[in-house]
Amino acid sequence: MPRSDTTRPRPAWFFREYAPVGVDLGSPAAVAAYDRNQGTDPDADDALLDRLGVVRGSRLVDLACGTGSLVVQAARRGAEAHGVEVSEEMLAFAQARAERVGVSAHWHRAGFLDYAHRAGPADVVTTKSALHQLPDFWKLQALLNAAGMLRPGGTFYLWDVLFSFEPAEAAEHLQRWIDTAGRPEGRGFTRADFEAHVREEFSTYAWILEGMLERAGFDIVSRASRTPTHGEFLCRRR
């Protein structure tokens, strides 16, 4: 699938957002395994959509939508739902999920950085478990893009691997996360997956991301770090 027409030109110095990072998702089988490992839960998606005020007629954009569960659940309640994703295999899985339940959504092969939102301003923009794929400089560019597609007062929700521990305690917390989160092969993300995440991906500190959100034009409504390695932000666009 070529990049969609909802993309901006990418200069030669642009971050290579379409290059694989982290878990291999280069086949339908790998994407199906990823969906299982993520613990996709439509009930949890619906609870989040309720919390974000997504109703019939709302316009939602899910950046790095993965296998599309949140987008599909938004479409099921009558929202205009847009799923943005760089992976062809992920988009194919997401489209098939929508077809199975008989809903229509808008799918865009595009990234955080080059997605150009052509529809009207969004009421809600979300991203889950994905911004860590970008280095910090590019995270802020992605957040600026997200703010630009939202109406004033619109809602931005982010959940990701975010570090709230003290920097001097990083080794202790990361080792504990890897030791406790890894699962046997076939039963979830493995120890090797978590080691690769820390080694190769770009998760950052919550306090760094907080500053990025404010500079991108968001007011932070709430923040939560339920563990030292994960967190969320709920924001309003100024």
Q: Is 129 within the bounds of a domain?
A: yes
Highest mean pLDDT of the ranges 1-5, 23-27, 161-165: 161-165
Q: Is 189 within the bounds of a domain?
A: no
The per-residue pLDDT for 1 is: 59
Q: Is 220 within the bounds of a domain?
A: yes
Number of domains in the chain: 1
pTM (2 d.p.): 0.95
Please answer whether residues 232 and 127 qualify as being in contact, where contact means their C-beta atoms are separated by less than 8 angstroms: no
- 120 burial type by CB count under 10 A (0-12 exposed, 13-18 middle, 19+ buried): exposed
Amino acid letter, residue 49: L
Range of the domain at 225: 28-167+203-237
Q: Is 175 within the bounds of a domain?
A: no
- Model confidence over 197-206: pLDDT tens digits? 999 999 999 9
- Model confidence over 20-79: pLDDT tens digits? 877 777 788 888 888 888 878 999 999 999 999 999 999 999 999 999 999 999 999 999
Q: Is 146 within the bounds of a domain?
A: yes
